[in-house]
Amino acid sequence: MKITGIALKEIAHRKVNFLLSCLSVAVAASVFILANGLLESTSLQTEEIIAQKEIETRNHMASLEDDMRKHMKGLGFNIYIFPEGQDMSEVYDKGFASKTMPEEYVTKLANSSIVMINHLLPTLTQKVTWPEQQRTVILIGIRGEVPMAHRNPMKPLVDPVEQGFIALGYELHNALKLKVGDKIMLLEKEFTVKMCHDERGSKDDITIWMNLTECQELLDKKGRINAILALECNCATIDRLAEIRKELSAILPGTKIIEKGSQALARAEARMSAKQTAAKQIAILKSQRDALRAKRESLAAMLVPFIGIMSLAGICLLTFINTKDRISEVGLFLAIGIKSGAILALFLVRSFIVGLGGGILGVLSSAFIIRVAGGTYFNNYTVQQLMSVELSLVIIIAMPVFACLASWIPSFWASRQDPAEILRND
Residues at the site binding another protein, with contacts judged by CB under 8 A: 1, 3, 6, 9-10, 12-14, 328-329, 331-342, 419-420, 423-424, 426
Task: Give the list of residues 6+ apart from residue 37 with CB closer than 8 angstroms, or none.
Answer: 366, 370, 378, 381, 386, 387
- CB-wise, 65 or 418, nearer to another protein? 418
Q: Which is nearer to another protein, 250 or 335 (CB)?
A: 335
Rounded Cα–Cα distance for residues 46 and 256 (Å): 50
- Residues 327, 350: Cα–Cα separation, whole Å: 16
Whole-number minimum distance, CB 11 to another protein, in Å? Answer: 9
d(CA 10, CA 2): 12
Residue 122, beta-bridge partner list? 228
Q: 243: closest CA among 79, 109, 74?
A: 79
**Minimum distance from CB of 332 to another protein (Å)?**
4
Q: CB of 330: closest distance to another protein in angstroms? A: 10
Nearer to another protein, 154 or 335 (CB): 335
Is the Cβ of residue 109 or residue 414 nearer to another protein in the bound state? 414
* Residue 250 Cα to chain centre, angstroms: 42
Cα–Cα dist 46/296, whole Å: 14
Residue 373 CB, shortest distance to another protein, in Å, is: 39
- Cβ proximity to another protein: between 107 and 340 the closer is 340
Angle at 232 between CA 84 and CA 109, to 5 degrees: 40
Asked whether 229 and 47 are in contact (CB, 8 A), the reply is no
CB nearer to another protein: pick between 336 and 389: 336
Long-range CB pairs of 271-278, under 8 A, 24+ apart, other chains included: 271/61, 271/64, 271/65, 271/68, 274/60, 274/61, 274/64, 275/57, 275/61, 278/53, 278/56, 278/57, 278/60, 278/61
Q: How far is the CB of 423 from another protein (least distance, A)?
A: 6
**In whole angstroms, how close is the CB of 417 to another protein at the nearest point?**
12
Strand partners for 259: 79
Residue 414: CB minimum distance to another protein, A: 14
Beta pairing class for 119-130 and 189-196: unpaired
User: Shortest Cβ distance from residue 323 to another protein (Å)?
Assistant: 14
- Whose Cβ is closer to another protein: residue 323's or residue 392's? 323
What gap in Å lies between CA 259 and CA 91, rounded to an integer?
13
Indicate the residue among 14 and 60 with the shorter CB distance to another protein. Answer: 14
Instruction: Please state, in angstroms and rounded to a whole number, the distance separating the CA atoms of residues 147 and 110.
Output: 7
Q: How far is the CB of 408 from another protein (least distance, A)?
A: 19
**What is the rounded radius of gyration, in angstroms, for the C-alpha atoms of the chain?**
45
What residue type is assigned to position 27 of the chain? V
Nearest to another protein of 100, 411 (CB atom)? 411
Comparison of 321 and 405: residue with beta carbon closer to another protein: 321
What are the start-end ranges of the E strands in 43-107? 77-82, 101-102
Q: How far is the CB of 35 from another protein (least distance, A)?
A: 38
**CA within 13 Å, CB half, 316:** 12
